Structure 1
Amino acid sequence: MDNTNTVPSALELPQHLAPSPKESSASPGEEAQHQLSSTAAVQTLASVIRPCYGPCGRKKLLVTVTGETLCTGCAAAILRALELEHPVAQFLREAAQTQAENSGDGTAFLILLTEALLEQAEDLLKAGLPRTQLREAYATATAEVLAALPSLAIRSLGPLEDPSWALYSVMNTHTLSNTEFLTKLVAHACWASKELDGSFKPERVGVCTLRGGALEDSCLLPGLVMSGKPCGQMTAVLTGARVALFVCPFGPGSPNAPAIALLSSPDDLATFSKGSEQLIQKQISQLETVGINVVVVWGEIDEQTLTLADEHGIMVIEAKSRKEMVYLSEVLDTPLLTQLVPPLKPGKCQRVYRQELGEGVAVVFEWGCPGTPALTLVLRGATAEGLRGAQQAAYHGIDAYFQLCQDPRLIPGAGATEMALAKMLSDKGRKLEGPNGPAFLAFSRALRSLPKTLAENAGLAASDVMAEMSGVHQVGNFLIGVGAEGMINVAQEGVWDSLTAKAQGLQAVADVVLQLVTVDKIVMAKKSPTQQQILNPDTKKKKESLSAMQKKILQMYKEHHSQ
């Protein structure tokens, strides 16, 4: 096999970048100038994310600071759960979360490519390339990559085409067991929620998780579905629903009730009970007066208050989580109230009703106007971890469809695009002189680390797979990527990436790396002992006072026993 396609190490630089004999015997202080202070933190973070990269990646079992157990292979979820103290790690997490919000995916891609580029940058700095020239050369290489990326797009999603084939590879993560079924469900929900002008808004498709059953029991329901349950006799409002949201107890335990009652006689107790009943009666009457006929509560629900609500024709729904309440508040455009008072702007929808799904119960909110949730994907599962993985995959599919509606072009997945871009940079880098040549070769080597990681996570001989892929790409076949059993043709296997998501990811990586390569030292401000004493002037006095008191008690103890 021809080995001319092998990308050389960034240390194999042109002679004019090699350090002179005098420079080679530099002191440890001078050698430290070539080290990037941010590399170690990025490497540590990447070591956590790397085993999870790709569909064959593994999962992490995390225990958060709140004691919650999280089993996931989603890089974005792992980053949210980690308690990071290093400023560079926090900076990288912020960039990765922004990438996930903008494109729905690419968190692991951003972290791993950032690590690889910083490692290559250190080699370039050790070889004598100044930081300013390194930054400019990396920026030039990024521009070349982004300019070449559209030429790799060989498929597009048609405006009237079923998007299942395009969403499958995005949703085919290691957290799912039945990707094909869920992909078709998400594709149908997105297709049915399109606007009349052909545009698509992700907020038109909701995702609700409901414990019980299997993933195959998942379904689509009209409107917005939440996993709450009606508590009283009213189980439906079929027309003109007006909704109020309360994050407080539904009953005497509300902030309006007296905090302390001083009762000295049975008459006082009777008066207090009568006053409390009158207050609740007044609150329920006020809700009815302004037309509230649906109440969603995140808190305790008093039975007597629930009975009054039934008498006034108010449907009471018990919410399962505050997250659902916040989402309802955004969709209904009505505030979350901490007291049982009528909202200034009640939420409005067409109807609200109870929906039984197997052994589970949900509540459906339906609208009849555009711009509101059209469909909700109700996911079923036996475990919370399985539901969390399916929910994450569904959101990835919805975000991918939104991107494809804006730019329908697709590029090869499974590391094929990274290999093609690496070959392009390598070919150009060999012909360039000055800093751009070594920087192009370094960027090429960093890109090749991503398909190598896919091969390692799939349990393959990574060196053999990379050698074979390099030979195939060298002859111009850029459709070859890494599969579970070796090299695959991504066009035949249907493994695609969104051009928009990949371009955004590469641009985000470049922004992060170009900032970090100019950081030579991390300085963290710490409070001095003098400052601590100024902020807490009584601390020393308290310690001295406590010490004197302890001495006095000890002296009394000795005198007592000596007698």
Structure 2
Amino acid sequence: MDTTGPLAPGLSELLGQSTHSGTRAPRARDKNMLSSTAAAQTLASVIKPCYGPHGRQKFLVTARGETVCTGYAAAILRALELEHPAAWLLREAAQTQAESRGDGTAFVVLLAGALLEQAELLLRAGLPRPQLREAYATAAAEVLATLPSLVVRSLGPLEHPYWALYTVMNTNTLSQTDFLTKLVDRACWATRDLDGTFNPERIGVCTLRGATLEDSCLLPGLAVAGKPCGQVTRVLTGARVALFACPFGPASPNARVTARLSSTDELTKFRKGREQLVENQVTQLVAMNINVAVVLGEIDEKTLTRADRSGIMVVQTKSRKEMGYLSEVLGTPLLPYLIPPLVPGKCQKVYGRELGESLAVVFEWDSPSTPALTLVLRGATTEGLQGAKQAAYQGIDTYFQLCQDPRLLPGAGATEIALATILSEKGRKLEGPSGPVFLAFAKALRSLPEALAENAGLAVADVMAEIHGAHQAGNFLTGVGEEGIINVSQEQVWDTLMAKAQGIRVVTDVVLQLVTVDEVVVAKKSPAQQQDLNSDFKKAKKCPSLMRKNIFGMNK
């Protein structure tokens, strides 16, 4: 059943031209624009199966050979090696949405792809580019002006955010979304300020392999995966921290250096020199009142023994990302050599914490500008932990947005259907190119709930017909559920107004840019670059199993 309604006369005439034998063929410059549209649509086809709470996951093999299993659109976009400039532009727009709002990445890619598909039909039918661009901008402005009128809920100042966070976090296809949402809810509620404001930097997220997601917990301060290595396992007051991205002690004994010694005297001097070096390194730390050393490298036993005698707690960690975050929070540099920092990091206390068979090190502060709680996530696989981590950050970002603007829109595709219905009604009444373009914009919006229904395994045509009928009757709270249409108010499925509005703005910007592109100009590669490409191709031929799928006409 066709749920789009009758076409406006202008659109019928324009599309009717393309069905005649005398239709003009696309010019060369039009073909370039259409190739950009094809690139964007191909990128959208990669993201579409992952859209919504019933989206599927993908195994990604990155350029480094790492395998990642994820259904998170932002992670998939980061892993892809794209060649076409239109795909690059669309990915940049989606990443802007992810960085600014933490949600709506797939929404941006899918809506942009659908709008460009409709733009291609209108251009083939003979609509001039300037008129198409102007009408698209008008339709987008109409959508943004209509959005606030669809708001149906607001998060109260004394209301727990669980019901508002669940919808966003449930799009990551986790097995324990309810449990994780409750943890994020507790963390956000506990770290909010008395005046109702919220700083997302006050919540840290740490992942530890082992156990299950239900064994995740909240710890005070900032927790990192690591272990105390010596006899000093805690500093309970006045911690002064130094961070080192090098071995703790002299150079590793496995280093490719050979000491050529010709006598016992030289051997004695060598040993004394090594011991003196260890003594000097620890003495320098003591002189700067360093009592906690966090090390991203090997631990020398003699240096560790000297540090124990000096009361220095030595912590070994294996995550460079966590070391970078520690450096940012503590305000002290990550040093490549074992020398004391000019400005050591300061916190109240540092101590080790056992979590089952895993170990974490906790840093606690009293300052309101530092992490107050850490969400420690447990899981059996790195991929599962990464998905849980992304869901947790999405929940934290969503609560931050709700503290700025507590208004909520109907979720499950209900908002998109409501906007499409409004645009269709106005498009049928407009004369000139605005009418056909409004109808095209409405059809692009309907493609999003269609994707939700398809990913849920529903009969798309039947579900869309039911939703269209409900919205025509004035029930704009009808959306796509697991088994058919649902009332989003009863099921508590919501989207934040800030994320939706920002996503539409981002989509509008990228689409208006691409519909005006008339040519793709590729600079000629230098001989050195061409030689590198040829050598890579020869290596790929020797290892056929390493050749990956071609997305935009070039090997990834």
> Fold match, TM over 0.5?
yes
Q: State the SS of the aligned residue for 1:37.
A: helix
Distance 1:117 1:416 in 2: 19
CA pair 62-20 structure 1, distance change in 2 beyond 3 A = closer
The aligned residue for residue 542 of structure 2 is none
Q: Structure 1, residues 455-481: CA drift from partner, whole Å, max 9, x if none?
A: 000000001111111111111111000
Matches within 5 A, 1:16-55: 19=17, 24-27=22-25, 29=27, 32-33=30-31, 35-55=33-53
CA pair 10-442 structure 1, distance change in 2 beyond 3 A = farther
Question: Shift of residue 158 of structure 1?
Answer: 0.3
Q: Is the 8 A contact 2:252 2:298 kept in 1?
A: no
The aligned residue for residue 120 of structure 2 is 122
Letter in 1 for 2:428: R
CA pair 264-480 structure 1, distance change in 2 beyond 3 A = same
The aligned residue for residue 437 of structure 1 is 435
The aligned residue for residue 484 of structure 2 is 486
Distance 1:111 1:10 in 2: 27
Distance 2:417 2:165 in 1: 22
Distance 1:30 1:342 in 2: 64
Question: Shift of residue 17 of structure 1?
Answer: 8.2
Question: Shift of residue 28 of structure 1?
Answer: 5.6
Letter in 2 for 1:227: A
- 1:178 equivalent in alignment to 2:176: yes
Distance 1:242 1:10 in 2: 71
Distance 2:85 2:262 in 1: 60
1:334 is aligned, of 332, 335, 344, to 332
Matches within 5 A, 1:159-178: 159-178=157-176
2:521 is aligned, of 516, 520, 523, to 523
Question: Shift of residue 248 of structure 1?
Answer: 0.7
Distance 1:437 1:292 in 2: 71
Q: Structure 1, residues 53-104: CA drift from partner, whole Å, max 9, x if none?
A: 0000110011212221111111111111222222222221111111101000
Q: Is the 8 A contact 1:58 1:174 kept in 2?
A: no
Matches within 5 A, 1:49-88: 49-88=47-86
CA pair 105-273 structure 1, distance change in 2 beyond 3 A = same
Q: Is the 8 A contact 1:204 1:372 kept in 2?
A: yes
Give the alignment's Cα RMSD to 1 decimal. 2.4
The aligned residue for residue 454 of structure 1 is 452
Matches within 5 A, 1:174-323: 174-253=172-251, 261-323=259-321
Letter in 1 for 2:399: Y
Letter in 2 for 1:481: G
- Give ranges in structure 2 of 5+ residues lacking alignment: 533-556
Q: Structure 1, residues 139-194: CA drift from partner, whole Å, max 9, x if none?
A: 00000000000111110000011111111111113431111111111011001101
Question: Shift of residue 8 of structure 1?
Answer: 5.1
- With normalisation by structure 1, the TM-score equals 0.90
CA pair 55-339 structure 1, distance change in 2 beyond 3 A = same
Question: Shift of residue 50 of structure 1?
Answer: 0.6
Q: Structure 1, residues 191-241: CA drift from partner, whole Å, max 9, x if none?
A: 110123221011101111111112111111110000111111111000000
The aligned residue for residue 417 of structure 1 is 415
Distance 1:398 1:292 in 2: 34
Q: Is the 8 A contact 1:186 1:397 kept in 2?
A: yes
2:149 is aligned, of 108, 130, 151, to 151
1:392 is aligned, of 390, 393, 411, to 390
Aligned residues: 531
- Give ranges in structure 1 of 5+ residues lacking alignment: 537-563
Question: Shift of residue 105 of structure 1?
Answer: 0.9
Q: State the SS of the aligned residue for 2:11.
A: coil
Letter in 2 for 1:84: L
Q: Is the 8 A contact 1:168 1:179 kept in 2?
A: yes
Letter in 1 for 2:151: A
The aligned residue for residue 370 of structure 1 is 368
Question: Shift of residue 32 of structure 1?
Answer: 4.2
Question: Shift of residue 509 of structure 1?
Answer: 0.5
CA pair 22-155 structure 1, distance change in 2 beyond 3 A = closer
CA pair 374-174 structure 1, distance change in 2 beyond 3 A = closer
Bigger mean CA deviation after superposition, 20-29 or 229-238: 20-29
Q: Is the 8 A contact 1:99 1:505 kept in 2?
A: yes
Larger Rg belongs to: 1
1:514 is aligned, of 507, 512, 515, to 512
Q: Is the 8 A contact 1:10 1:439 kept in 2?
A: no
Distance 1:359 1:404 in 2: 37
The aligned residue for residue 557 of structure 1 is none
Question: Shift of residue 427 of structure 1?
Answer: 0.4
Q: Is the 8 A contact 2:32 2:520 kept in 1?
A: no
Letter in 2 for 1:398: I
Percent identity between the two aligned chains: 71
- With normalisation by structure 2, the TM-score equals 0.91
Distance 1:41 1:159 in 2: 45
Q: Structure 1, residues 380-412: CA drift from partner, whole Å, max 9, x if none?
A: 112222211111111110000000000000000
Q: State the SS of the aligned residue for 1:389.
A: helix
Q: Is the 8 A contact 1:169 1:495 kept in 2?
A: yes
Bigger mean CA deviation after superposition, 36-45 or 51-60: 36-45
